[in-house]
Structure 1
């Protein structure tokens, strides 16, 4: 089990094994999630929605809303 010490300024250095298992690097963000049993879970929050811009190319020709409605829900 990984352990860390809280400084007088409220800072904690995550142990190297924890950073490696979460895939964290300097500048990455983490989120602390409160669980029902009173404990917390730490999660890597390494990308924002802005980083997804351009990931999917625009269609060659525009798709009309009526065509999307006829296609039905995605499965």
Structure 2
């Protein structure tokens, strides 16, 4: 658990360990998600280009058909 203080301007510092875990950098944007039970979640909005490296084409990987993608989504409980 991490504890931080709110300033008179409503600002706070996100602890270093949390910033590192979420890969947050100066200038990044985050959203606060408030659940019905009062829990609050922080979600980074920025994705850095270096994090995208390799997610598209990978040599030797077979292409997947739309049907295979839809089947995988169905299996995971997702919806189209």
Q: Which has the larger radius of gyration?
A: 1
Partner residue in 1 for 2:25: 25
The structure, 1 or 2, with the larger RCO (C-alpha pairs under 8 Å, 6+ apart) is: 1
Gaps of at least 5 residues in structure 2 are 48-55, 57-65, 71-80
TM-score in terms of structure 1 length = 0.61
Structure-to-structure mapping, 1:1-75, within 5 angstroms: 1-47=1-47, 75=70
TM-score in terms of structure 2 length = 0.57
Gaps of at least 5 residues in structure 1 are 48-55, 57-71
Q: Secondary structure at the match of 2:18?
A: helix
Matched residue count: 55
